[in-house]
A and B are shown apart, each in its own frame.
With several copies, the nearest count.
Chain A
């Protein structure tokens, strides 16, 4: 079973425990009744979907939730998003999305803040080109919601 173990180890870079955990039990997974911004992200290739809801107060994101379907990566990424963006200004939230996209592309972790450290769990996708979109889908939806448009596509 060395082969298998090896396979598992390699895959742990991508499927870190935090990812599997958020993938299995996504946080803030509900349709918000009253919200200030919302957008849907679709990845037509694999059918992944994330619908994101944001409540805003005093120029900050006060609450975030999502519904959707898809792979562990896309759902975990959305789940993490809903935990990490409350308290941020729209610009700061966007900047966090930009950091995530860069990690997903380069694989470089960013441990400079606790939030980015948690997000760095997603950096493992950079080895899997076809999965990068899964990790970034929710963050595209975030941009779209903040821009006031209704749809985002990770394509």
Chain B
């Protein structure tokens, strides 16, 4: 573990995650699929249990103590998310189901109401389907809104010249790009992307599903108009995601879905909308999940995002060096600024076969196109890749175990 900075005591951290000490078919679990979904620390599990055992009731609705406590806890999660992202007020934090819903919400509500006929949405070639398909659906809704794509360089970085060319056309209403690719690991220059967008009169949304897990994010420093992340990748529960939106934008947006708790008054004929964030949170929200998300944010805050980032940088360096030694292995992407996600091909084995092989040694990696088919097409890898992705509990030894297993797989399949 020499490559890791002393201040992150990974061995101790691993003890916080019950699943990491389980075995897979008699093998030690080596979980290298945190980019798809991270494991949960005891603090998160216990917070959800505590919510259900001691402080559960529907929120925003009851005048009794238990409901008041539940509501206060729920809103505390919103404030934690606000501080985590550096947002100005808790009203700028909308709870969604996951990142995917955040994009759909913005596409429906901002896209249909505030983009104008003839304007286009600009995404990149390296987007996750969550930040692509909702815009395709918006384009196809017959509102005259277009969709264009920023090129990705061979190194797997956003082509900023191409980006500038698109903006220069003067028709871009919204730029929506990833803050960190879930395939290439590329971290994009968010502040610069936002500045360029704003100079061209466009709004900008970031997909922070990966970035928010690996780096400290400050939406005001970036000057993001919208920013999304998803709880389950941040060591929190499924069923909850976060959409940050600037207050004046959320205020101007109509609701996405209708129902209880998002209205001010309702008659049979008409309803008026509540102020954000309630306007965007119809029905019973993710009460138990909010308790889990709050605990997850507190958990990473206690460890410290800087320490997490430093640990990850060390892992990235170690993995780059170690995987480079595996014969027949090709890494996808070589961005300057990258996080702990490595997609690769092995010459003699299909990613799916490789997954099965590795799984027998307890090593979990993903195989496929990682919800980024266009990016795989861009690199001529329609058949997919294997992907190893790290969490704050990942060790250099686990990367070594992967590298060794890859060498063995080569013998097996060759």
Contact = CB atoms under 8 A, between A and B. Distances in A.
Interface of A: 3-4, 7-8, 10-11, 14-15, 20, 23, 42, 44-48, 69-73, 128-131, 134, 153, 155
Given A14-B356, A44-B264, A44-B274, A130 B361 contact: no
B86 to A, nearest CB: 25
B352 A131 contact: yes
A130 B353 contact: no
Contacts of A153: 264, 275
Nearest to B263: A44
B383 A69 contact: yes
A69 B376 CA distance: 14
A7 B359 CA distance: 10
B412 A130 contact: no
Interface string B375-407: 010000011100000000000000000000000
A7 B350 contact: no
Contacts of A45: 60-61, 368
B352 A7 contact: no
B404 to A, nearest CB: 9
Contacts of A3: 27, 361
B352 A42 contact: no
Contacts of B63: 46, 128, 130-131
Chain B interface residue count: which class?
35 or more
Contact of B412 (A11, A46, A69, A129): A11
B345 to A, nearest CB: 13
B408 interface: yes
A155 B367 contact: no
Interface string B275-286: 100100000000
A47 B369 contact: yes
Residue of A7, A42, A131, A155 with most chain B CB atoms under a 10 A cut-off: A7
Given A11-B412, A69-B382, A48 B356 contact: no
Contact of A15 (B72, B382, B412): B412
11 contacts: A3-B361, A8-B412, A10-B360, A11-B360, A23-B353, A47-B368, A48-B352, A70-B352, A72-B350, A73-B353, A131-B356
Nearest to A45: B368
Contacts of B352: 46, 48, 70-71, 73, 131, 134
A153 B263 CA distance: 12
Interface string B255-269: 000000001110000
B304 interface: no
B413 A20 contact: yes
A4 B27 CA distance: 11
B79 interface: no
A47 B376 CA distance: 11
Nearest to A75: B350
B159 interface: no
Given A11-B356, A47-B382, A71-B350, A155 B274 contact: yes
